């Protein structure tokens, strides 16, 4: 019984951690949006904030349940960034779920869910990032993801 109570408490602790949800209506079809997330040559075209040094983004993606990914880029200020994780759910053209941890803070693992749904002739993208360590981390990621998703929109709608 005690183990069960601690498992419930742990689940409640995860549920109480900050999260964010962003949505975008895209003119592109779901297949193109999914390919932008899952094909390295596409992902490097849009992934990153505006101050990424051109030509520095690299992506290694093993898009299958249990597969790993790693994305690296250098800011125009020379600062190196690397993020990676493991794919937990992969439904082609519909859904990706993966863990998320920056190389600088590997103990801070959060979870990203990308939902892709047909919307008229385009796509409704719902982006959910959960289990942040605190509100500051959530707020920083919200600023970053808002910019990243703007880049994605320009890339797929072009």
Q: Is 109 helix (H, G, I), strand (E, B) or coil?
A: coil
Instruction: Determine the pLDDT at residue 15.
Output: 58
DSSP string, 46-57: H-S-TTBPTT--
Helix (H) or strand (E) holding 113: strand 110-119
Mind listing the domains of the chain with CATH numbers?
18-157 (3.30.530.20)
Instruction: Name the band, by pLDDT with cuts 50, 70 and 90, for residue 9.
Output: very low
Instruction: Determine the pLDDT at residue 6.
Output: 46
Query: Mean pLDDT throughout 96-113?
Result: 96
CA 18 to chain centre: 15
Percent of all residues in the chain with a pLDDT value above 90, rounded to a whole number: 80
User: How do residues 15-70 score in pLDDT, each as one tens digit?
Assistant: 589 999 999 999 999 999 999 999 999 999 999 877 788 889 999 999 999 999 99
10-14, 47-51, 124-128: which is most confident: 124-128
| Model confidence, pTM | 0.87
Percent of all residues in the chain with a pLDDT value above 70, rounded to a whole number: 91
Residue 143: partners with Cβ closer than 8 Å, 6 or more residues away: none
Q: State how far the Cα of 98 lies from the Cα of 104, in Å rounded to an integer.
A: 18
């Amino acid at each position: 019984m005690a183990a069960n109570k601690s498992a419930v408490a742990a689940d409640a602790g995860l549920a109480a951690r900050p999260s964010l949800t962003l949505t975008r209506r895209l003119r592109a079809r779901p297949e193109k949006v999914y390919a932008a997330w899952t094909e390295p040559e596409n992902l490097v075209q849009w992934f990153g904030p505006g101050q990424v040094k051109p030509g520095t983004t690299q992506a290694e993606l093993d898009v299958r349940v249990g597969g790993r990914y790693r994305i690296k880029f250098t800011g125009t200020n020379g600062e190196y960034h690397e993020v990676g994780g493991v794919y937990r759910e992969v439904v082609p053209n519909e859904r990706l779920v993966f863990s998320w941890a920056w190389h600088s803070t590997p103990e801070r693992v959060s979870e990203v869910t990308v939902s892709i749904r047909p919307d008229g002739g385009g796509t409704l993208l719902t982006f959910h990032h959960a289990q942040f360590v605190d509100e500051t981390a959530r707020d920083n990621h919200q600023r970053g993801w808002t910019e990243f998703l703007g880049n994605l929109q320009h890339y797929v709608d072009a």
